[in-house]
Amino acid sequence: MQKKHLALALLVTLVWGLNFPITKLGLRSIDPFALTGIRFALAALPLVFVIKRPVVPFRYVAAYGVIFGLGMWGVINYGIHIGVSPGIASLIIQLSVFFTLGWGYLLFKEKIRAAQWVGAVLALIGLAGIIAGQTGEHAVLGVLFIVFSALAWSVGNVIIKASGVKEIFSFMVWASLFPPIPLFLMAWWLHGNAAFAHLPERLDLTVVLSILFQVYLATHFAYWGWNTLLKAYPVSTVAPLSLLIPVFGIASSMLMLDEHVSLTNLIAIVVIIVGLAVGLYRKPTRRW
């Protein structure tokens, strides 16, 4: 990998890792579903007026938008809101790798290698350790929400694969049109008018900067950078770099939010990262 592309990969994974504690800062003042709705509204507007619509059936765009916005990020933010550490969330969401493998096997008849089975088992053992190490009234429920969001991300990956879309950035912008209304409705359903009461007063500098980071760096820049790498290199080269996301996520949560990792969680984190590394590793093809 060229140095400029390696630097891009490090920057993208750093942005995605930082996104978790930075989102937590925004959640201190704003309802999780309302915050996510604002994020995707700004991700879509006003760019949809200047970026050409992707050349795929619009049902794929709408389905991906709802699943990615509500099913993934809305649920992640709710899980963090009710007690899951942002660093732990950045790790658990990587389990989408194994959900995606399962969908590939069921829907596209793709083979699952022995190493991927071993990696999945290790990741499940680590996840069980994370659940066992959770404390707090809603912490375990929050972890299960993050697991659900990983499943939603894998469904989104299937939608992208089935659509055959090439214009990923355009796809992301247009798909962002669809999550805000369901997200705002979910916020109202859970908390009523309280989710929106005094909203302008809650938008202090910290919340505004958190939202801007989520929209323009974690969504627009990071997805552009990641897909640039996927176009330039094989998936087997790019995918293992995603292991840096929870490393940056956990480290930044400890630095920014003063979060502490218990010994039980630390062991479980190592087991999950090893499982992900085993599942993502593919022996390079020898060229003669």
SS (H, E, C) the chain: CCHHHHHHHHHHHHHHHHHHHHHHHHHCCCCHHHHHHHHHHHHHCCHHHCCCCCCCCHHHHHHHHHHHHHHHHHHHHHHHHCCCCHHHHHHHHHHHHHHHHHHHHHHHCCCCCHHHHHHHHHHHHHHHHHHHCCCCCCHHHHHHHHHHHHHHHHHHHHHHHHHCCCCHHHHHHHHCCCCHHHHHHHHHHHHHHHHCCCHHHHCCHHHHHHHHHHHHHHHHHHHHHHHHHHHHCCHHHHHHHHHHHHHHHHHHHHHHHCCCCCHHHHHHHHHHHHHHHHHHCCCCCCCC
| Predicted pLDDT at 276 | 74
- Enter the pTM of the model: 0.84
Answer yes or no: is pLDDT of 228 > 60. Answer: yes
Answer yes or no: is pLDDT of 272 > 50. Answer: yes
How far from chain centre, in Å, is Cα 17?
A: 10
- 122 confidence band (pLDDT: 50, 70, 90): confident
Q: Residue 88 falls within a domain, yes or no?
A: yes
- 137 confidence band (pLDDT: 50, 70, 90): low
Structure tokens at 64: 């991906």
Q: How many domains does the chain have?
A: 1
Range of the domain at 166: 3-280
- Contact status, residue 151 vs residue 92, Cβ threshold 8 Å: no
Q: Residue 285 falls within a domain, yes or no?
A: no
Q: Residue 287 falls within a domain, yes or no?
A: no
Answer yes or no: is pLDDT of 235 > 70. Answer: no
Q: Residue 213 falls within a domain, yes or no?
A: yes
Q: Residue 286 falls within a domain, yes or no?
A: no
| Predicted pLDDT at 280 | 64
Task: Pick the closest to residue 196 from 31, 39, 73 (CA basis).
Answer: 31
| Predicted pLDDT at 283 | 58
- Contact status, residue 60 vs residue 163, Cβ threshold 8 Å: yes
Please write the tens of the pLDDT for every residue from 64-102: 999 999 999 999 999 999 888 898 888 888 888 778 777
Q: Residue 199 falls within a domain, yes or no?
A: yes
Exposed, middle or buried, 23 (CB in 10 Å: 0-12/13-18/19+)?
buried
Q: Residue 104 falls within a domain, yes or no?
A: yes
Q: How many alpha carbons lie under 13 Å from residue 81 in its C-beta half-sphere?
A: 19
- Contact status, residue 123 vs residue 178, Cβ threshold 8 Å: no
Q: Residue 288 falls within a domain, yes or no?
A: no
